[in-house]
Structure 1
Amino acid sequence: MMRLCLVLAATFCLAVSSAHAAGLKFIQIPAGPEDSPAIDAAMWSPCAMAPADVRIGVLMVPAVPDCPVAGERLPLVVISHGYGGWYLGHHDTAEALADAGFVVVAINHPHANHADMSRANGLGALIRRPFDIMRTVDFMLTASPDAGKIDPQRVGFYGFSQGGYTGLVIAGADPDFSKLPPRCADPKATGCPQVNQVRPVQQEPRPQVLAHDPRIKAMVIADPLSVVFQTVNSVKNVAIPLQLWGSELGGGGGASPKDVATLAGVLPEKPDFRIAPNAVHLSFLTLCPDTHKDSEVCIDAPGFDRAAFHAEFNAEVVAFFRRNIGAGGGRLE
């Protein structure tokens, strides 16, 4: 695939906005059995107070830290980042959802995020990702101090790139790992995309069990790793409402527009399929500060307006989840 936020996320991967009033807190999902590490996460929620600019390292983000969750029986959306990403890489979408009445939790996939890539490559990373999401949902619905605010019957998911792959597996898909390209001879070589760094299948057998989670009732995925989902059989069990976004131009070692289009065609239930005109793969990442416009994760195609696109994208994502899992307080719109 590609390096999402390895460079920028270590400093910052988001821009200042004054449009959102989401409550924000940082939480940790405790370590689990079988050497499952703790999961760091950011949680956004509806908040009754006006936001202020909050500094997070060198970042400034509009939020109310540790704001009490406003509302009852709220829907939950869990966010999964792409390769080398992190829990703030889609913060603007999380804020828009929280303002619309959703509790949103974005995680750092352990040992496979911008700060720690020690276990990011190989099939093991792809196998572990859906289990990370299942553990996050478990925590939010049971052990979280805010569990009583969440409606367990209204859980959604948003994933980008490898996060999109993660969502498809959660929804019931069975990836064909034999379609992954062989590993690069030199993974550090320039132009060697991450998907080519995956260990050959014959060296790492396909697991017998993948994490599918029927608690997820609807999902949005953007430019998912799709090469492993190119047949009817691979996605025959995906039956939940699904909004699928693809970048027109792809690139960056990310999802192939052709593979994403094929995925849209083989899904058993017709997805709400959107092509983002003139977008590259990394255009789905949140806005970049003016001081870092030259970073690799901030470069869009000539003429592409990331701010305008994200305003439209976020509105469509909010509308989709409102239709399919409802807004705050149990409303379906």
Structure 2
Amino acid sequence: MVLKKYFAYALLLCCLASPAEAAGIQLLDSDPGLAGAIWYPCAGEPKDVPLGKLAVPPDDIWLTGAKDCPVTGAKLPLVIFSHGRGGWFVANHDTAEALADAGFVVAAINHPGDNGNDSSQRDKMSVWASRPADMVRLLDFMLHDWKDKVVIDPARIGFFGFSLGGYTGLVLVGAHADFRRFALICKETDKTENCERARSGDVPPSPPHDPRIRAAVLADAAMNFAFTPEALSGIQVPLQIWRSELGGNGVDARFTALTASQLPGQPEIHTIPAGHYAFLAPCSPLLATRIPRICTDVPAGFDRAAFHHDFDASVVRFFREHLVSDGGTR
């Protein structure tokens, strides 16, 4: 996808066919490293929420919710979101809204250097190492610096990741990434920076884990080449794994199936008869017209909106079981 389309994607993805019902929204726009939004339960009336400088002028882009309304509840579970390559913090906002309506706090940010408005690090190995650190920083902010931090139960932390965000989640919950393995998918004639670094061993160390995360939902995780079965063996938290039968956009369905089969424990695994983009929030008519590539599902006839109704409900159910029903313990 060319950069121009990534800009359009970032501008339009938030326009859903079905709005949120009761999610409160606070925008994070004072720090480029923490640019995004927080969704949470509240009793306010949902309205259109313009994104201001988080959107690219002159487009009039908004979310739907009760902006800056008081948080309802106490000792609430928190789920942090990680978007895919070139995405942005609203990529799965329907899921974030469903969780907020169900009593969760949700926080999502743009990954610096790899989002719809900033591609400066998108194709560099450094972003593979920085993404998990971005999520650690977000979690630190939510627990220590967010103005409403007192409502969060630090023993009830979850993670949601799509595509490269799924890779990010695997690392955070205990997997060890070996970036030298990137050489396995490089052709001998490929002299690009990442291939040369992988061959020489000049790669970043495996990014940090975060033991505060107690459960994770990962959808069509990318970068499966970075993990061996041994590298995945350190994962000890409950996982809900979603994968597409058809893959796409650099995600090979054969490798997502292999990784899912190598995960320790008994992860909850779901396979859908569609392609990679089916996990993105349903497209508005405007987005479908502007960027049909990410809105046209395969096979023809796959109903993304109907799927997300079930997908969001399954994500909510999973996090309720593992972050609420068991009291937040492992």
Equivalent pair of 1:50/1:64 in contact (CA under 8 Å) = yes
Offset of residue 29 of structure 1: 7.7
User: What one-letter code is carried by the residue in structure 1 that aligns with 2:94?
Assistant: D
Question: Of residues 277, 281, 306 in structure 2, which corresponds to 1:282?
Answer: 277
Runs of 4 or more, structure 1, over 4 Å off, are 1-5, 183-187, 196-199
TM-score, with length taken from structure 2: 0.87
Match of 2:217 in 1: 220
Deviations 1:148-168 (A, max 9, x none): 110001100000000000000
Question: Of residues 177, 183, 186 in structure 2, which corresponds to 1:182?
Answer: 186
- Within the alignment, does 1:38 sit opposite 2:39 as a pair? no
Match of 1:263 in 2: 259
Match of 1:191 in 2: none
Query: Mind listing any 5+ residue stretches in structure 2 that lack a counterpart?
Result: 52-58
Change (3 A) 1:230 1:62: same
Partner Cα separation in structure 2 for residue 142 and residue 136 of structure 1: 10
Offset of residue 206 of structure 1: 2.7
Match of 1:156 in 2: 158
Change (3 A) 1:263 1:210: same
Equivalent pair of 2:36/2:110 in contact (CA under 8 Å) = yes
TM-score, with length taken from structure 1: 0.87
Deviations 1:146-204 (A, max 9, x none): 111100011000000000000000011012323323389899xxxxxxxx984431366
Match of 1:68 in 2: 70
Offset of residue 17 of structure 1: 2.1
Give the match's secondary structure for 1:293: helix
Partner Cα separation in structure 1 for residue 127 and residue 188 of structure 2: 17
Give the match's secondary structure for 1:154: strand
How many matched pairs? 314
Give the match's secondary structure for 2:91: coil
Give the match's secondary structure for 1:69: coil
Give the match's secondary structure for 1:282: helix
Partner Cα separation in structure 1 for residue 135 and residue 156 of structure 2: 15
Give the match's secondary structure for 2:241: strand
Matches within 5 A, 1:128-167: 128-167=130-169
Give the match's secondary structure for 1:258: helix
Partner Cα separation in structure 1 for residue 321 and residue 253 of structure 2: 27
Match of 1:300 in 2: 297
User: What one-letter code is carried by the residue in structure 2 that aligns with 1:88?
Assistant: V
Partner Cα separation in structure 2 for residue 169 and residue 4 of structure 1: 30
Offset of residue 315 of structure 1: 0.3
Match of 2:11 in 1: 11
Partner Cα separation in structure 2 for residue 81 and residue 183 of structure 1: 28
Partner Cα separation in structure 2 for residue 70 and residue 131 of structure 1: 30
Match of 1:320 in 2: 318
Partner Cα separation in structure 1 for residue 50 and residue 145 of structure 2: 28
Change (3 A) 1:248 1:214: same
Partner Cα separation in structure 1 for residue 257 and residue 37 of structure 2: 32
Give the match's secondary structure for 2:216: strand
Equivalent pair of 1:29/1:139 in contact (CA under 8 Å) = no
User: What one-letter code is carried by the residue in structure 1 that aligns with 2:321?
Assistant: R
Identity %: 42
Equivalent pair of 2:49/2:62 in contact (CA under 8 Å) = yes
Q: Which has the higher helix share?
A: 2
Deviations 1:28-49 (A, max 9, x none): 585xxxxxx6221211000112
Change (3 A) 1:236 1:69: same
Offset of residue 5 of structure 1: 6.8
Offset of residue 228 of structure 1: 2.4
Offset of residue 252 of structure 1: 2.6
Partner Cα separation in structure 1 for residue 221 and residue 4 of structure 2: 13
Change (3 A) 1:2 1:312: farther
Alignment RMSD (CA, Å): 2.7
Match of 1:90 in 2: 92
Equivalent pair of 2:20/2:94 in contact (CA under 8 Å) = no
